Amino acid sequence: MPDAILELPLTLVQSLERRLVTATAVAASPFTGSEEVQDWGGEWWDYGIEMARSTGRDGRRLSAFLAALGGPRGRFLFRDPTIRQPGSLLAPQVAGGFQTGSQLVTAGWPPFSTPLFAGDFFSLGTDAQTRLHQLTADVETDEAGAATIAFVPRLRTAPIDGTPLEVSSPAVVLRLAAPVPTRIGRAESFLFTLAAREAL
């Protein structure tokens, strides 16, 4: 499959930093100090990922994985371990085509419930089209199990009607922001710190 993307091994993630970046510019008047904000509409995730210390063959395998990406040329799938909901049986999907913006009509939730809350994550799409989103309001469903959800970042493309939302193990496609140096210490111990951004 030419569009398939390799996943970063989660067992080696020690800590991470995640931030939502917006394409905005602020210009301040030198006379009044008032500011004008220009929103260009772009939004994406930036990650700083610190990998746990590994040794021997495990370290060399991870080094090979990162080298094969070729710096910013390659992309990889990352299932952020801090936002997983293991054991979740939720199976919501997009209800209706041609949707854009930061709200989405969905179906397939348990009726009359609040299955997810503001701050929870979900992803849409597969492989290179996978996009990560964070809810900005609680999901409140009606008698039919439908709900309009609000989230960031905004949709970049309209999802197809019936597209499933990944809730239990949301993912994001990342691209390295810079080549990753291999730091090798005593007893052949390896340390890696990755700077990456959403691959758009």
Q: Can you read off the two tokens belonging to residue 155?
A: 């949709």
% the chain with pLDDT above 70: 98
The CATH number of the structural domain formed by 81-170 is 2.40.30.290
If we measure between CA atoms, which residue out of 4, 179, 19 comes closest to residue 77?
4
Tokens representing 110 are 């348990």
User: What pLDDT is recorded for position 3?
Assistant: 59
Which pTM does this prediction carry? 0.89
Tokens of 175: 């691209």
Number of helices followed by number of strands (H, E) in the chain: 1, 14
Does position 117 have pLDDT exceeding 80, yes or no?
A: yes
Question: How large is the average pLDDT for residues 125-137?
Answer: 95
| H helical segments located in the chain | 56-69
Q: Is 186 helix (H, G, I), strand (E, B) or coil?
A: helix
Residue 32 confidence class, pLDDT cut points 50, 70, 90: confident
pLDDT tens digits for range 35-44: 888 888 789 9
What secondary structure letter does DSSP report for 12? G
- List of residues 6+ apart from 54 with CB closer than 8 A: 12, 62, 189, 190
Q: Is the pLDDT of residue 135 over 90?
A: yes
Q: Can you tell me the mean pLDDT for 112-140?
A: 96
- What is the DSSP pairing of strand 131-135 with strand 54-55? unpaired
> Residues for the chain: how many in total?
200
On the CB side of 194, CA atoms within 13 Å amount to: 30
Segment 143-147 shows an average pLDDT of 97
The residue type found at 125 is G
For the chain, the structural domain boundaries read 1-79+174-200, 81-170
What is the average pLDDT across 101-111? 97
> pLDDT class for 87, splitting at 50, 70, 90?
confident
pLDDT confidence of residue 183: 84
Can you tell me the mean pLDDT for 60-82? 90
Q: Mean pLDDT, the chain, as a whole number?
A: 91
Kindly list the distances between the CA atom of residue 109 and the CA atoms of 16, 61, 90, 113, in Å, as whole numbers in the listed order.
31, 41, 7, 8
Residue 1: what pLDDT? 42
* Distance, C-alpha 138 to centroid of its chain: 19
39 with 74: CB under 8 angstroms? no
- pLDDT(194) > 80: yes
Report the distance separating Cα 91 and Cα 124, nearest Å. 12
